[in-house]
């Protein structure tokens, strides 16, 4: 069952830079997929098109039956509510506590206080941060901050979680911890896409790996490690 | 169920709007003072212009033609003249004022008049019997005056002539200038508010970006800011409203409702000040909400 189907997608920015050329890709429901490639190879551009921060110049991006490429700007929020996004810089709100950083999403959607509490605590429990609900982001380590961001991404039970270099700011041990958290989420049925630079992690996780090179899909390793001699 | 959700979201946004005013207090204060100053000037301008309008109406109502009757007319002739005046169109009322009456009134006015007038015998009274004629339409007063002047036995007619008319046109100009000032002030304030709120929003760009990423609609991003603008408008109108209510009623009390001359009567303070206050609050709130919603627009993808 394919969940995401990318067909002949091309992206040229208004500046004239083409970030992606004729990309074709299918991702199955419940898959865990790594996207790797050198800096500037178009990984973030691809992610941005999945959560519809950017529109492809050509081609189709179907997510759960909807062509996201055609989505109007003012309708984008409907897509975003069904997916979670995680970034290298966490993007937490510094004036809010851990609990509030996760809960505000649900509050914004109008859930009642009790529902908000139950779902927020469940998400924070899943990432192992139930003890830190009252802390502020500045009082947490990088790994803990990223786990708050992951809790926020999954709190509304999305079908898809998109992570753009979630471990880019973290040390190797912490990075692996984050990947394990994402794996747990994946095991609960969520489709997970992770952009990363980190070869070791990719090799350890034994998941599907897609290699981008200068805006083109270079390799698609169905399972496990990718060729160690491959330069990217 | 959906309604319940919307109510919860609204309550949350009202809370957030208030929180943000407190959190960015110095900037909020800038916006609030902006509105306060404008509304104070707007209040003075509106009250001024409405009262000028009122003066104008009072003066118009007071438009009277004084008809002086030849001294050789007897009572019968005077009644005929009255009848002829009444037959003209545009006549509201006619009141008789005999020269004796006028002399008596003048006597009361000063000691000197009293001495002089008291020395006159009945036949020596040099004054005229008069009719005080009020017209329906003050714009046609000169026309009516001319017709009355032609009536046999009428010695002279007098009315405000050029003086009152030019006074009216001056009031008209003042009123127009005040309207222009009010409107431009409101527009200028709206843009000042837009820019002040833009500064507060600038420091919250990241918050807006995150909200967008997690699935906030444009409306739900906008709502707290617009509510914030509403409160800024409300708070900004407190001082102008108090000044209007207390200031105007005090002015009215101190002057007895009469300014400069008996022509210029002020409106009764109640409910006048409440109407003005409501107008001020509405202007403040609308300007605040408009300002915020303009300011936040830049950060939305529409
Ligand atoms: N907003 C943008 N405007 C113009 N060019 C961009 C923009 N974002 C990315 N690019 C360009 O597109 C190419 C791919 O960038 P990106 O997708 O960020 O790569 P990666 O995430 O793999 O490092 C780069 O050449 C980059 O300079
Ligand atoms: Mg990138």
**C-beta neighbour count of B68 within 10 angstroms:** 17
The sheet carrying B154-158 orders its strands as: B91-97, B129-135, B64-69, B154-158
Partner residue opposite A93 with nearest CB, options B207, B212, B302:
B207
| Residue B121, C-beta contacts closer than 8 angstroms, at least 6 positions apart | none
3-state secondary structure of B154: strand
Give me the pLDDT at residue B9, please: 87
Burial class from Cβ neighbours inside 10 Å (0-12, 13-18, 19+) for residue A207 reads buried
Tell me the torsion sign for CA atoms B177, B179, B182, B184: negative
Residues A140-164 have a mean pLDDT of 97
Residues A49-62 have a mean pLDDT of 96
Residue B234 has pLDDT above 60, yes or no: yes
Give me the pLDDT at residue A231, please: 47
- Cα A136 from Cα A222, distance rounded (Å): 40
Show the CA angle centred on residue B263, arms to residues B260 and B268, nearest 5°.
85
Q: Encode pLDDT of A81-119 as tens digits.
A: 999 999 999 999 998 999 999 999 999 888 999 999 999
- Cα A115 from Cα B297, distance rounded (Å): 31
DSSP designation for A66: E
Residue B244 has pLDDT above 50, yes or no: yes
Residues A22-51 have a mean pLDDT of 95
Mutate to test the pocket of ligand 1, among A9, A10, A11, A13 (most ligand atoms within 8 A of CB): A13
3-state secondary structure of B87: helix
Residues B193-214 have a mean pLDDT of 85
Give me the pLDDT at residue B155, please: 85
Residue B52 has pLDDT above 90, yes or no: no
**pLDDT bucket at B297, cuts 50 / 70 / 90:** confident
Phi, psi of B177 (to 5 degrees): -60, -45
- Rounded alpha-carbon distances, angstroms, from residue A210 to A139, A172, A218, A221, A222: 36, 21, 8, 6, 8
Instruction: Write out chain A residues lying below 8 Å of B207, CB-based.
Output: 93
The secondary element (H helix, E strand) that includes residue A61 is: strand A58-63
- Cα B207 from Cα A67, distance rounded (Å): 28
Per DSSP, which regions of chain B are E strands?
64-69, 91-97, 129-135, 154-158
The secondary element (H helix, E strand) that includes residue A228 is: none
Give me the pLDDT at residue B61, please: 60
Give me the pLDDT at residue A232, please: 46
Residue A225 has pLDDT above 80, yes or no: no
Give me the pLDDT at residue B188, please: 85
Closest-CA residue, ligand 1 atom 6, reads A13
Domains contained in chain B, CATH given:
14-59+165-300 (no CATH), 64-158 (3.30.70.3040)
Percent of chain A with pLDDT over 90: 87
**Does residue A53's CB lie within 6 angstroms of at least one atom of ligand 1?**
no
Ranges A8-22, A40-54, B52-66, B226-240: which has the least confidence:
B52-66
Instruction: Write out chain B residues lying below 8 Å of A112, CB-based.
Output: 4, 8
The secondary element (H helix, E strand) that includes residue A221 is: strand A216-221
Phi, psi of A28 (to 5 degrees): -80, 155
Residues A57-81 have a mean pLDDT of 94
Q: Encode pLDDT of B54-109 as tens digits.
A: 776 666 666 778 888 888 888 888 888 888 888 888 888 888 888 888 888 888 77
Q: Encode pLDDT of B102-127 as tens digits.
A: 888 888 777 887 888 888 877 777 88
**Does residue A17's CB lie within 6 angstroms of at least one atom of ligand 1?**
yes
Residue B160 has pLDDT above 70, yes or no: no
- Cα B167 from Cα A223, distance rounded (Å): 94
**pLDDT bucket at B173, cuts 50 / 70 / 90:** confident
Which A residues, 1 through 20, put their C-beta within 8 Å of a C-beta on chain B? none
Give me the pLDDT at residue B220, please: 86
Give me the pLDDT at residue A144, please: 97
- Cα B28 from Cα B16, distance rounded (Å): 14
Higher pLDDT, B53 or A40: A40
What's the ipTM? 0.90
Percent of chain B with pLDDT over 90: 17
Residue A224 has pLDDT above 70, yes or no: no
- Rounded alpha-carbon distances, angstroms, from residue B112 to B99, B101, B122, B125, B127: 18, 17, 19, 16, 17
- Rounded alpha-carbon distances, angstroms, from residue B280 to B5, B41, B244: 33, 10, 9
Residue A229 has pLDDT above 60, yes or no: no
**C-beta neighbour count of A194 within 10 angstroms:** 29
In terms of Cα–Cα distance, which of A45, A148, A28, A49 is closest to A91? A148
- Name the residue of chain A whose CA is nearest to B219's CA: A74
- Name the residue of chain B whose CA is nearest to A54's CA: B301
Tell me the torsion sign for CA atoms A70, A76, A82, A87: positive
Contact A195, A175 (CB under 8 A): no
Residue A13 backbone class (left: φ over 0; alpha: ψ -120 to 50; beta: rest): beta
- Cα B84 from Cα B269, distance rounded (Å): 43
**pLDDT bucket at B4, cuts 50 / 70 / 90:** confident
Higher pLDDT, B165 or B198: B198
- 3-state SS of A149-174 is HHHHHHCCCCCEEEEECCCCCCCHHH
Residue A230 has pLDDT above 70, yes or no: no
| Residue B156, C-beta contacts closer than 8 angstroms, at least 6 positions apart | B67, B68, B128, B149
């Amino acid at each position: 069952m394919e969940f995401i189907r990318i067909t002949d997608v091309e992206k040229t920015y208004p500046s004239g830079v083409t970030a992606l050329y004729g990309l074709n890709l299918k991702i199955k429901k419940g898959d865990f997929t790594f996207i790797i490639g050198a800096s500037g190879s178009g990984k973030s551009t691809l992610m941005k098109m999945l959560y519809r921060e950017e529109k492809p110049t050509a081609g189709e991006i179907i997510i759960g039956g909807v062509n996201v490429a055609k989505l109007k700007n003012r309708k984008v929020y409907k897509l975003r509510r069904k997916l979670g996004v995680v970034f290298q810089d966490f993007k937490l709100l510094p004036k809010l506590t851990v609990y509030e950083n996760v809960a505000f999403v649900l509050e914004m959607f109008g859930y009642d206080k009790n529902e908000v509490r139950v779902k927020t605590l469940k998400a924070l429990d899943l990432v192992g941060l139930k003890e830190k609900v009252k802390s502020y982001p500045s009082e947490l380590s990088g790994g803990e901050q990223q786990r708050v961001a992951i809790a926020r991404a999954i709190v509304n039970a999305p079908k898809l979680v998109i992570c753009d270099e979630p471990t880019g700011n973290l040390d190797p041990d912490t990075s692996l911890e984050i990947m394990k958290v994402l794996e747990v989420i994946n095991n609960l049925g969520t489709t997970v896409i992770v952009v990363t630079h980190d070869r070791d992690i990719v090799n350890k996780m034994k998941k599907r790996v897609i290699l981008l090179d200068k805006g083109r899909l270079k390799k698609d390793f169905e399972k496990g490690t990718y060729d160690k001699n491959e330069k990217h | 169920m959906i309604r319940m959700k919307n109510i919860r979201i609204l309550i949350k946004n009202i809370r957030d709007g208030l929180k943000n005013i407190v959190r960015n207090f110095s900037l909020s204060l800038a916006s609030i003072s902006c509105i306060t100053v404008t509304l104070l000037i707007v209040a003075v301008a509106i009250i001024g212009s409405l009262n000028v309008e009122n003066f104008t109406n009072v003066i118009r109502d007071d438009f009277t033609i004084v008809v002086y009757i030849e001294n050789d007319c007897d009572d019968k002739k005077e009644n005929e003249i009255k009848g002829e005046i009444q037959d003209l169109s545009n006549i509201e009322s006619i009141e008789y004022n005999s020269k004796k009456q006028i002399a008596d009134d003048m006597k009361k006015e000063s000691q000197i008049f009293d001495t002089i007038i008291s020395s006159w015998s009945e036949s020596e009274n040099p004054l005229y019997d008069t009719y005080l004629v009020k017209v329906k339409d003050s714009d046609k007063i000169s026309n009516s005056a001319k017709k009355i002047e032609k009536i046999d036995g009428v010695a002279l007619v007098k009315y405000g002539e050029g003086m009152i008319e030019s006074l009216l046109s001056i009031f008209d100009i003042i009123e127009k200038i005040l309207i222009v000032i009010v409107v431009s002030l409101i527009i200028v304030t709206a843009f000042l508010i837009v820019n002040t709120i833009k500064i507060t929003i600038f420091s919250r760009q990241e918050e807006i970006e995150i909200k967008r990423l997690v699935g906030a609609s444009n409306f739900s991003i906008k709502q707290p800011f617009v509510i914030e603008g509403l409160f800024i408008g409300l708070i900004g109108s407190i001082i102008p409203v108090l000044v209007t209510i207390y200031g105007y009623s005090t002015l009215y009390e101190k002057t007895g409702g009469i300014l400069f001359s008996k022509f210029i009567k002020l409106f009764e303070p109640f409910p006048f000040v409440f109407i003005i206050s409501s107008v001020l609050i509405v202007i403040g709130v609308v300007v605040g909400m408009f300002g915020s919603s303009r300011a936040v627009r830049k950060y939305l993808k529409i």
